[in-house]
Structure 1
Amino acid sequence: MKIVGLTGGIGSGKTTVAEMFLALEIPIYIADVEAKALMNRSKVIRRKLIQLFGRKAYSKQGLNKAFIASKIFEDKSLLEAMNAIVHPKVGQHFKRWLKKQNAPYVIKEVAIIYEIGAEKEYDVIILVTADKTERITRILSREGMTKSKALAIIKNQLPDEDKMQKADFVINNEDLVETNRQVLKIHRELLNA
């Protein structure tokens, strides 16, 4: 079974593209969702994140996402340290999930494939892109997001131009009809490969 990486900067529309593949009955693993769940569920991750960020990393409700976000986007070394704690656990969870799938290929949506040097984990990588202005507009529609936070996140991610040179497929996600056409074309190619 092929493992297809689906990546792209924040606000590029990875989730929209993932939903289009899901409509084609392709199993989708969204690493960010699973990472957040594991950060709340795993006692080992919880202990290590408290060591890294302090007690404010968690509240009575669970992971203090706003606090952690404010720290990691000001300090890239904290982001890298957090990724080193969380990503191996997400990888283990993905392997267990993968064993349960029965499809010609699966998609693992990961925002930072290239940033963490994980290209070798995938048979194929699809990059989702969108105009920076459009991305910022999409990001600002999220709860608690400001333009400065959005720009800080974008700055911490590898530029699309760099990722485009490495990706097997690039989907420009600005018009949904055209995006869906691109998804169908890639889907057919993956089935026939």
Structure 2
Amino acid sequence: MERRKPYIVGLTGSIGMGKSTVGQMFVEEGVPLFDADAAVHELQGPDGALVEAIEALFPGSTSSAGVDRQKLGAMVLGDAAALQRLEKLIHPAVAEMRLAFLEKHRDQPLILFDIPLLFEKSGAKGVDHVVVVSAGENDQRDRVLARPGMTEERFEQIKALQMPDAEKRQKADSVIDTSLPQAETRQQVQKLVQKLKASLA
């Protein structure tokens, strides 16, 4: 009998929408999570597989602690060609880690891929159901500007690289609203997990 692959839920959302919090809620419901950002941190951390290659492309962007994300960010933000060179390095490595995760959890009914630029990088092709995490514009701005080292200008630059939230919501199979109290957001996640698992049964 052919092995049924897990049903893949793609989790995405613009900066400051509460995607990591929602991802954790899925984990608490027993859904294994592959976090693309965490994978990148691992690849760029101390002894990370990509540190040497990134230093070769962007001299001065790394140290014994791995990639200095702020220095590297300053080198590529606003420079499309530099960003492209960096992505050519990172995306295949992350894809490899994602395949290994898929293999490890192949007996699960449901797994979650947290992919920040899911629509922007056409990753929606590889998932069965897209969940967009969304919040009001003011909530988003307040959350992002509260981050250490974040400026209004940097926030606008990051936002410019991302598909507008309204467009993401339109393309989504499900939307999780994080402008609500956290308990209500959690209920949305629980209902969605139950609904998806029931549809697979």
Q: TM-score, normalised by structure 2?
A: 0.88
1:32 & 1:2 partners in 2: Cα distance? Answer: 21
Native 8 Å contact 1:76 1:156 kept in 2? no
User: In 1, distance between residues paired with 2:12 and 2:71?
Assistant: 25
Measured against aligned partners, the alpha-carbon deviations of 1:13-46 in whole angstroms (never above 9, x if no partner) come to 0011011111111111111011121123444x33
The partner residue of 2:160 within 144, 155, 166 is 155
Match of 1:77 in 2: 81
**Identical aligned pairs, as a percentage?**
30
Aligned residues of 1:57 and 1:63 also touching (Cα < 8 A)? yes
The aligned amino acid for 2:183 is V
Which one has a bigger Cα radius of gyration?
A: 2
Question: What do residues 82-136 of structure 1 show as CA deviations (whole Å, max 9, x unaligned)?
Answer: 1221011111111112222242111111110111111111111101011222112
What does 1:60-139 align with in structure 2 at a 5 Å threshold?
Answer: 60-101=64-105, 102-139=107-144
Q: What secondary structure, in the 3-state scheme, does the structure 2 residue paired with 1:12 have?
A: coil
Contact 1:39–1:86 (CA under 8 A) maintained in structure 2: no
RMSD between aligned alpha carbons? 1.6
Distance 2:150 2:56 in 1: 26
In structure 2, give the amino acid aligned to 1:177: A
User: Residue 48 of structure 2 contacts residue 66 of structure 2 at CA under 8 Å; is this kept in 1?
Assistant: no
Kindly indicate whether the alpha-carbon contact (under 8 Å) linking 1:128 and 1:170 is maintained by their aligned counterparts in 2: yes
* Preserved CA contact (<8 Å) 1:14 1:128: yes
Structure 1: runs of 5 or more not aligned: none
- 1:184 maps to a residue whose letter is Q
Q: 2:187 aligns with which of 181, 185, 189?
A: 181
Question: Relative to structure 2, which stretch is displaced further, 16-25 or 74-83?
Answer: 74-83
TM-score, length-scaled by structure 1: 0.91
188, 193, 198: which one aligns with 1:192: 198
- Counterpart Cα distance in 1 of 2:136 and 2:118: 20
User: SS state of the match for residue 112, structure 1?
Assistant: coil
Of 18, 24, 29, 1:24 maps to 29
Runs (4+) off by over 4 Å? none
TM-superposed CA distance for 1:178, in Å, is: 2.4
